[in-house]
Copies of this chain bind each other. A is one copy, B any other.
Amino acid sequence: MRDFAEIRVELNAWLDQHWSPDLSLVQWRDCLVDGGWAAPVWPSEFFGRDFSAEEDAVVAQEFARRGVVGAAQSGPRRLAAETILAHGSEDQKRRYLRPILTGEHAWCQLFSEPGSGSDLAGSTTRADLREGRWVINGQKVWTTSAHHADFGILLARTDWDVPKHQGLSYFLFNLRQPGVEVRPLRQMNGHASFNEVFMTDASVDPSDLLEGEGHGWRIAATTLSIERQGFSQTRPDGGLKGLSELRGRVYDEYRAELKIAQEPYTWYPQRAGRVDLALPRARQTGAITDPAIRQELARLLSMKMGADLAASSAAAQSRAGSNRVSPQGSIGKLAASVIARQAAHVHTLIAGTDAMLSGTESAEGGVIAEVLLSVPAISIAGGTDEIQKNIIAERVLDMPKEPRSDTGPFRNIARNATDPTN
């Protein structure tokens, strides 16, 4: 194991020589990749240095300390990169990883479909091999930032005569081609954070199939587990303190990149119920003196406290390398739903008749109204409450599964009439 101090010395020497805020973002990242500092945890054959997570953290620390912009992180591009690293061929890694790190290629995730939400493995987007190319037909949905994306990680069905999980394949899909239409998908709260992606006789070269036919579900599981580890989350400051104050071309371009990446997430705090506003609002309005509202407020604060403590305890255990089954993922997600609903209830109680209003003139400049219209999403997005409860019951409480109705050849499984191919 390398010494952390050695790493610091080597990195800083390299940075002294190469780093300049006046480079373009791509110029700088090209340099970063060439220097091996774009993704030090990656293998040395592929732009990395075989660093451990702790060593990687040292590099990140130095970047942050010196205000150096790192490799592109935001959005689903890291999901694609990590999946390609784990399952891609030599050729695929060579072709795709570098432009991900430099930020030249933006990616999106083409998994969910109108007909398969909770039941992701029920995907009916089809990929048919015709004249040496895969021809893609179908529709994907809930695709974040597809309108900015160059490529997508795509789950599509290549075999309809085997059980559902076995007939899926995983493609690296170029969105910049005819036959691909990306439409914004507006939500009930007025935001349009997602896209629909329509694919009509779009095509994929066989060299962009990951591993081989029928391995799609297994590879998708890798992607989803990376997603659950939070790889698709972006910090607002992109890891750089005071970014908005920093001057230089590389920073300007980095801020623009982050802005695009973060735009879909501006309403997420409202989706979670803005528990932080409950007490201040209760004080402002005088509702805090109302005994019945106090009870509901106390319930809200209690649940939130419990969830925060449980989460920090789980995080501590995870840092401590405890191998105990942690029910945290699904329990935390379910807790967030319950808390958000109670928060919406409390905000409504506090607002009274004013809960009819929205816009900048309304409570907290419209934030409360956005809470009331956004909270319904938290129990759906990223796995519905119902799916979380199935997981908790089966994996934490070890309760038996329900009898399945979706075994046997996929072709014979009952599915939505609106699916393109029945």
Q: In the complex, what distance in Å separates the CA atom of A290 from the CA atom of B292? A: 9
User: How many residues of chain A get a CB closer than 8 Å to chain B's CBs?
Assistant: 8
| Residue in B291, B402, B403, B405 whose CB lies within 8 Å of A292 | B291
Q: For the complex formed by this chain, how many copies does it contain in all?
A: 2
For A404, give the chain B residue with the smallest CB separation.
B403
Minimum distance in angstroms from A292 CB to a CB of chain B? 4
Within 249-307 of A, Cβ neighbours of B (below 8 Å) are at 290-292, 294-295
Residue in contact with A403 in the complex, picked from B290, B295, B405, CB distance below 8 Å = B405
Q: Once the chains are docked, how many angstroms separate the CA of A290 from the CA of B295? A: 12
Smallest beta-carbon distance A352→chain B, Å:
15
Chain B neighbourhood of A292, CB < 8 A: 291-292, 294-295
| Binary B-proximity of A393-410 (CB < 8 A = 1, otherwise 0) | 000000000110100000
Whole-angstrom CA separation of A133 from B270 in the bound complex? 73
How long is the Cα–Cα vector from A295 to B293 in the complex, in angstroms? Answer: 10
Q: Which residue of B lies closest to A290 (CB)?
A: B291
Q: How far is the CA of A291 from the CA of B405 in the complex (A)?
A: 50
- For the complex formed, measure the closest distance between the CB of A322 and the CB atoms of chain B, giving whole angstroms: 36
Bound Cα distance from A403 to B405, whole angstroms? 7
Roughly how many angstroms separate A143 CA and B292 CA in the complex, as a whole number?
45
Chain B residues near A405 (CB, 8 Å)? 403
Which residue of chain B lies nearest to A294 when distances are taken between CB atoms in the complex?
A: B292
Q: How far is the CB of A372 from chain B (nearest CB, A)?
A: 21
Q: Report how far A131 CA is from B287 CA in the complex, Å.
A: 81
Closest chain B CB from A300 CB (angstroms) = 15
CB contacts (< 8 Å) of A403 on chain B: these are 403, 405
Q: How far is the CB of A162 from chain B (nearest CB, A)?
A: 22
What residues of B have a CB within 8 angstroms of the CB of A290 in the complex?
291
| Alpha-carbon separation in the docked complex, A295 to B159 (Å) | 58
Distance between A393 CB and nearest chain B CB, rounded to angstroms: 15
Assembly CA distance A402 to B402 (angstroms): 10
Contacts of A294 in B (CB 8 A): 292
Contacts of A295 in B (CB 8 A): 292
Distance A85 CA – B291 CA, assembled complex (angstroms): 61
What's the least CB distance linking A5 to chain B, in Å?
60
> With a CB–CB cut-off of 8 A, which chain B residues contact A291?
290-292
Q: How far is the CB of A350 from chain B (nearest CB, A)?
A: 15
Which residues of A, 106-135, contact B by the 8 Å Cβ criterion?
Answer: none
**Complex Cα–Cα for A55 and B411 (A):** 63
In the complex, which residues 379-422 of chain A have their Cβ closer than 8 Å to any Cβ of chain B? Answer: 402-403, 405
- Distance in angstroms between the alpha carbons of A291 and B293 in the assembled complex: 9
Q: In angstroms, how far is the closest chain B Cβ from the Cβ of A44?
A: 53
Shortest CB-to-CB span from A160 to chain B, Å, is: 22
Q: A36 vs B326: C-alpha distance in the bound complex, in angstroms?
A: 74
Give CA–CA (A18, B295) in the complex, Å. 68
Provide the bound-state CA to CA distance between A291 and B296, in Å: 12
Closest Cβ of chain B to A114, distance in Å, is: 21
Smallest Cβ-Cβ distance to A296: which chain B residue: B292
Cα distance A291–B295 in the bound complex, in angstroms: 10
CB contacts under 8 Å to B, within A311-327, are: none
Closest 4 CB pairs of A and B: A292-B292, A291-B291, A291-B292, A292-B295
Which residues of A approach B to under 8 Å, CB–CB?
Answer: 290-292, 294-295, 402-403, 405
Give me 9 A-to-B residue pairs in the complex whose CB atoms sit less than 8 angstroms apart, sorted by A's number: A290-B291, A291-B291, A291-B292, A292-B292, A292-B294, A292-B295, A402-B402, A403-B403, A403-B405
Sample of 6 more A-B contacts, CB < 8 Å, known A292-B292, A292-B294, A292-B295:
A290-B291, A291-B291, A291-B292, A402-B402, A403-B403, A403-B405
